[in-house]
Structure 1
Amino acid sequence: MLILEDYLLLTLDDVTGKAVVDASYREQVAAGALLVELALLGRADLAGDGDGGRIGRIVVRDASPTGNRLLDEALDVVRSREGSKPKALVAPIAKLKPASRAIGSLAERGVLRREEGRVLGIFPTTRWPAADSRHEDSVRADLWRVLVEGGVLDDRTAALVAILSATGQAGRVLAAGGDRGAAAVADGGQEWTGARRRAVDGRAKDIARESWASEAVRAYVEEITAVLLVGATVAATAAATS
């Protein structure tokens, strides 16, 4: 599974198939997740002192195929824009529709189920409830171990936590489902209060800032955050002037 696919599974309601988070910027977040994965795989990086280019610009370390079509297409975009700043990569990779394609792939593999319907009996809609939640349950268990129990991190889980933190969703996705349930948690049956969610979000932010991540991974996560902040500002401005 891609980190992107884990993020999508966590942010889709298993029963209704609806997104449990704001899906307005899902393709941009997906683009950032692909960049993070390429950085973890050692494919994409930021130029350093010995690279003969401007420090902090995009550089491809390994152009060989990854074996995953979405990742390879994202890598092609990175190669075509080598020498750019990280923020220049999110929009062109988002044009590949990575989130929509990843959801379709999860359905083809039997992880999600496609359900067609209509809103108000008129507008067509598609939902993606869970068909096989075993992998998602495993991911949630890893997140619980790290974010609640303080368990040891691996790079992949840390990257997923950083993306959830960038989108403000770490506490929400843990409260929304999984083995622990939405209303209560195992340690004493304490409810998922706002304070508890904020504590999980705080731990996620701490992880995102920790030294596990390469400079490239941190830069790509920062670009995800920037996209969402810009979108939130635009939405707030539009609401205030309407």
Structure 2
Amino acid sequence: MSRQPDEPPVEARADSASEAHSSGPPTLPEDLLLLLFRPEQGVIAGETTLFYALAGAVLADLALQGSLAAQRTRAASVDVEAVQGKAPSDEILLDAWKYLSDGPRGVQTVLPAIGPALRQPVLDRLLARGDMRKEKRTVLTFFSTTVLREGHSGRRAGLVKDVRDVLVDGKEPTARTAALAALIWGSGTLHQFDPEIPWNSSVIDRARRLEQGNWGAGATGEAVTRTMTAAIVNNVVSATASVSARQ
């Protein structure tokens, strides 16, 4: 991200952001990272392409708040730009919003630009909230290592239930849950939620509809926001598939 010479580096601003807003309302990237955490294994699903998914969540959150505008280019790609006068209060989202205030940028350019610096500050917030915790373990009686464990807030279980209700039971989602489910699908990790969220044809079909912006009447928000979020998720899908194909 671009910054002025007297500004602190992105990492420093990110650390400050994680501390300043860990007690505020959770952001979409926080919810996504918490969902992608696999408690039984102590790992985060999709680590190799995680930054694309987190960046997509930041853009989707900005879109849901009305802080982001999008337009299709002649080449059929999607450009996004900050909506002036609609700066978000959250520091992580604000950093991305400022980056997009310089003018329209292609989503495929934005994702790798803002994504790599997101994991740690977002994780720090989850730890500060008690949604996740760190546990020290001794390996081979000599080496000490730190592993991630689920916290005691119970928030992950609530998020999984919300997504499961939509993908398994066909409940109409809120706009936020629709975006979360679509981003999980876009990250290529949905199959890893089985058996919490069964991996079957009906779940896949519903996830694909959410990816395309078909959220149903229950998901409040203007059609343009759904279309914008769908375009963001589609770019996450493309970026994730491209990385996976090279591995």
Please state which band the TM-score falls in when normalised by the shorter chain: 0.7 to 0.9
| Distance in structure 2 (CA, Å) of the matches to 1:161 and 1:175 | 16
1:89 aligns with 2:89: no
In structure 2, the CA distance between the partners of 1:114 and 1:229, relative to structure 1 (3 Å rule), is: same
Q: Which runs of 5+ in 2 are unaligned?
A: 1-25, 216-224
* Number of the residue aligned with 1:224: 236
* Number of the residue aligned with 1:183: none
State the Cα distance separating 1:48 from its structure 2 match. Answer: 7.4
State the Cα distance separating 1:207 from its structure 2 match. Answer: 2.0
* Number of the residue aligned with 2:62: 38
Query: What RMSD in Å do the two structures reach over aligned CA positions?
Result: 2.7
AA at the equivalent of 1:79 = S
State the Cα distance separating 1:158 from its structure 2 match. Answer: 0.5
**Number of residue-to-residue matches in the alignment:** 211
| Distance in structure 2 (CA, Å) of the matches to 1:6 and 1:70 | 14
* Number of the residue aligned with 1:23: 47
CA contact (8 A) 1:111 1:131 kept: yes
State the Cα distance separating 1:84 from its structure 2 match. Answer: 1.9
Q: Which runs of 5+ in 1 are unaligned?
A: 178-191, 236-242
1:202 aligns with 2:214: no
* Number of the residue aligned with 1:58: 80
State the Cα distance separating 1:112 from its structure 2 match. Answer: 0.9
AA at the equivalent of 1:233 = A
AA at the equivalent of 2:211 = A
| Distance in structure 1 (CA, Å) of the matches to 2:208 and 2:227 | 16
AA at the equivalent of 2:234 = E
1:127 aligns with 2:152: no
AA at the equivalent of 2:200 = R
In structure 2, the CA distance between the partners of 1:71 and 1:12, relative to structure 1 (3 Å rule), is: same
Q: 1:69 aligns with which of 91, 98, 115?
A: 91
| Distance in structure 1 (CA, Å) of the matches to 2:236 and 2:91 | 22
CA contact (8 A) 1:144 1:174 kept: no
In structure 2, the CA distance between the partners of 1:72 and 1:14, relative to structure 1 (3 Å rule), is: same
State the Cα distance separating 1:68 from its structure 2 match. Answer: 1.3
- Residue identity over aligned pairs, in percent, reads 22
* Number of the residue aligned with 2:71: 47
AA at the equivalent of 2:231 = A
In structure 2, the CA distance between the partners of 1:119 and 1:218, relative to structure 1 (3 Å rule), is: farther
CA contact (8 A) 1:114 1:127 kept: yes
State the Cα distance separating 1:171 from its structure 2 match. Answer: 4.2
In structure 2, the CA distance between the partners of 1:113 and 1:73, relative to structure 1 (3 Å rule), is: same
TM-score when normalising by structure 2: 0.75
| Distance in structure 2 (CA, Å) of the matches to 1:208 and 1:226 | 12
| Distance in structure 2 (CA, Å) of the matches to 1:105 and 1:147 | 27
